Amino acid sequence: MIELEIRPMRANERIEAAGVAARAMRDNPIHVVVFGPDPARRVAALDRIFRALFRVAPAAPLIALRAGFIVGVCGAAPPGTCRLAVPAWPRVLIAMARNGLGPFRRTLHWLEAWSQRDPAESHWHVGPVAVDGGLQGLGIGSRMLAALETTLDADGEPAWLETDKPENTVFYQRAGFTISAEAEILGTRCWFLTRHPRQERGRVGNVNFSPTGKS
């Protein structure tokens, strides 16, 4: 098993963490549609957004380090915080706008379409989850999710996330998520998954969120 340290990101690790997430998520279908066919431009666009997001995020993402280098990132906004606070918006909007008018418009459309499906119930909002390209499939993502699960179960609140890749639904289902809804956004199939904390799963079964409310 790969030796890893998993812990919350520190402020001085923000740029390295953003780079890992941007490179790992370069080829996700929704990013190709939103940011265009040039892989280098997609990495640059995602890097800008993650740098801004990790600066204003209500909770530091978990990171996985191997030999001192960040190899994975797992973000999660605690209940009540997945809609960014108003003071945080300018930084994120500027980062999005620097990607050009077309990508900016498509980013807003995509994020609005995702957030329209946020559950009304109090929930943790998971993402981004990403592992360095050369190290995917080695269990790093699962180990970050397991660390996050400990927090989710201790907190006793449900979790919610979106993904645009069918193989990721399998990855999340192993961590106790179930598919709650599907939608076509900008011509890209997206899945919405929910996870109930372990003690609640035992008590009420695997009840899905309503996918239409707002958080």
Ligand X SMILES: CC(C)(COP(=O)(O)OP(=O)(O)OC[C@H]1O[C@@H](n2cnc3c(N)ncnc32)[C@H](O)[C@@H]1OP(=O)(O)O)[C@@H](O)C(=O)NCCC(=O)NCCS
Q: Does 104 bind ligand X (CB under 6 A)?
A: no
Q: Does 130 bind ligand X (CB under 6 A)?
A: yes
Least spacing, CB of residue 167 vs ligand X, in Å = 4
Name the nearest CA neighbour of 191 among 173, 208, 203, 179.
Answer: 179
> What's the half-sphere exposure (Cβ side, CA atoms, 13 Å) at 212?
0
- Counting residues that bind ligand X (by CB under 6 A) gives 20
Q: How far is CA 181 from the centre of its chain?
A: 17
Q: Which two tokens stand for residue 38?
A: 């040039």
DSSP states along 99-153: T-HHHHHHHHHHHHHHHTT--SS--EEEEEEEE-GGGTTSSHHHHHHHHHHHHHH
Least spacing, CB of residue 128 vs ligand X, in Å = 6
CB within 8 Å of 3: residues ≥ 6 apart: 66, 67
- Which range touches ligand X (CB under 6 A), out of 40-48, 50-58, 99-107, 137-145? 137-145
Q: Which is nearer to ligand X, 99 or 163 (CB)?
A: 163
Binding mask 21-40 for ligand X (x = CB under 6 A): ---xx--x------------
Q: Does 179 bind ligand X (CB under 6 A)?
A: no
Q: Does 158 bind ligand X (CB under 6 A)?
A: no
Sites of contact with ligand X (CB under 6 A): 24-25, 28, 127, 129-131, 136-142, 163, 165, 167-168, 170-171
